[in-house]
Structure formats: C-alpha cells, structure tokens
Amino acid sequence: MDKHGKIYIAGHGGLVGTAILGKLKNHFYKNIIFRTSKELDLRNQEDVATFFAIEQPEYVFMAAAKVGGILANDTYPANFIYDNVMMQANIINAAYQNKVKKLLFLGSSCIYPKLAPQPIKEEYLLTGELEATNAPYAIAKIAGITMCQAYNEQYGTTFISVMPTNLYGPNDNFDLASSHVLPALIRKFHEAKMNHLSNVEIWGTGKPRREFLHVDDLADACLFLMNQYQDNQPLNIGVGKDISIAELATLIAAVVGYSGNIMYNTAMPDGTPRKLLDVSKLANLGWCPAIELEDGIRRTYQWYLKNLVI
C-alpha cells in the first residue's frame, strides 16, 4: 500500500478495526478515514455509495460486522444475517464502483463445516453442514467471500478475503449476553473474585477445543497481506494450536486470581466440537503470530480493569 494512499477502515471502533487503525498508525500510514455507525449506516446502500463517491478511498479494510457468541447468534439470527449481508454488499460494490485499488474482507472461521477435518484447510469451505447456532452469521460471511471472488473474476478487482480464528484483546465485548467465550470468562471470573463467589458456571461440557488469536496479531497479519497477497482464494489467519474450553477457563481463572470452583452446565450447547485452522499457507508467505495466549489474556485483563471496571 502507498504510505500516502487514502485508507478507509469500515468498523474502526470495533475489536478488529481499532487494532488495524493502531497498526496502520504505528507503520506511519496517515491518510486514514473512518465514520462511526451514527455518521454512516453501512446497511444503507445510498449512504455508502455517496460516502465512497465523495471520499474516494484507495484501500479498504472491511472490518465492520455484527458479531456475538452462541447466545447472541441463537437469539438474533435475523439481525446477524441481515446486518452483515447488507454492510458487506454495500461496501464491496461501492469499492468496485469507485475503483478501490485493494480491499481486505474479514470473514470468520465459523464459515467452515461443523465437522470439518482438523486442522481446517481453506478448501474445506462449503464441503459440509454448518454449526446450527451460528449458521446465519456464517452464511453472511460466506456470501461476502464469494462476492469478493465474483467481483475479482468479473471486474478484475483485487479484493482479498481472510478467515481469522477466534479473536480477543483490547476493546473486546465483555457483555455476558453477547460476548464470545474468552472475554465472557474474564468478566465472570473477575466478578466472582470480587464478590467472593465459590462457584463459576460455564456453558457446556468444557470439552470443545478452540484456537485464539490476539487481535493485534490479526491486525499485523492484515497489514502484511494487504502488502503481500492478492490471490482470489481466501486465507486462514490463526496460531495453529488450540485449547479446550476447560483448559481456557483454568488459565483465565489463574490470570484473574480466582480460586473457586468451575462448574459446567452440560444442559447448555457446546457449539462446534473443534475449530483449529490450518495456517500453513499464511506461514509459507512469511507471517506468524507473536503473542502467546497467556500473555495475551494477561494484557486483555489489564485492559478490562483499566477501561471497564468501575
């Protein structure tokens, strides 16, 4: 990317967008534009088209998305598919119409089949049934990836797609009703410690395995790929190793300093049994993550204490 080129970050205020914005500034990209959701509703096609026509960005990071954990996805499936399809369709089409040089679309590892072979290779996409609890979100993301590929094939655009694994870090969502597992556990264990609770309940059996990538590592990978990658095939971004939810809970409890009991509510859903990405293609390009999980959790807990604990 041209250091002086105009860069638009859609979703700059979220977990991923904030990290990308910080990474760009640290690498001396200064011509960066963004809008809050109140200033620009990305679900509104006319507003998005007008914004692109006026601003004429040269590079786009499509980090805007409606995201959430199992409870949120299960409660608001219509919102998850509608909001995400509308936002990404408007951004991708406006990028084409305004001759954007390169766009990076952020998908998700949940797009893969529920029972995909492990570790999950990029070519496993659309080879099996999705996990039911987040199928609307996954289908929206698959549509975004397919849209990028279709525009590349028909119009000669350079729109790349990446599939990050489970993310965490500063600016994460710690709302227990809508957050993902890692920030939810940080909050649960912190509040249990402060309230001297003897037990903390966790949904499911604790057996599912998940891979976790610090959002600063994701931002670094995105910048790397905007400069190094232009293939039409989507690319996994992860750490290449996973951990069980039970092991994660034990680790977070230790970081937070909670010494009570961890109870598993087996009446609640587990979600996908395992979701480990094959990151060999990204590694072969020359990128690897730098932040170890325990260190990343420690940093995230410190951010939580400084920013969200009253």
Q: Which CATH number does 7-172+211-240+276-292 carry?
A: 3.40.50.720
Where do the structural domains in the chain lie, given as residue ranges? 7-172+211-240+276-292
The Cα-based distances of 226 to 71, 74, 220 in angstroms read 33, 34, 10
112-119 LR contacts (CB < 8 Å, sep 24+):
112/163, 112/275, 114/272, 114/273, 115/273, 118/274, 118/276, 119/240, 119/276, 119/277, 119/278, 119/279
Q: Write the pLDDT tens digit of every residue in 180-234.
A: 899 999 999 999 999 999 999 998 999 999 999 999 999 999 999 999 999 999 9
pTM of the model: 0.93
Q: What is the pLDDT of residues 134-184, one digit of tens each?
A: 899 999 999 999 999 999 999 999 999 999 999 999 999 998 877 889 999
Give catalytic residues, as residue numbers: 137
Residues with Cβ within 8 Å of 99's Cβ and at least 6 positions away in sequence, in order, are none
Does residue 112 have a pLDDT over 80?
yes
Residue numbers belonging to the annotated binding site for NADP(+):
11-17, 106-109, 141, 164-167, 180
For 243-299, what is each residue's pLDDT tens digit? 999 999 999 999 999 999 999 999 998 877 888 999 999 999 999 999 999 999 999
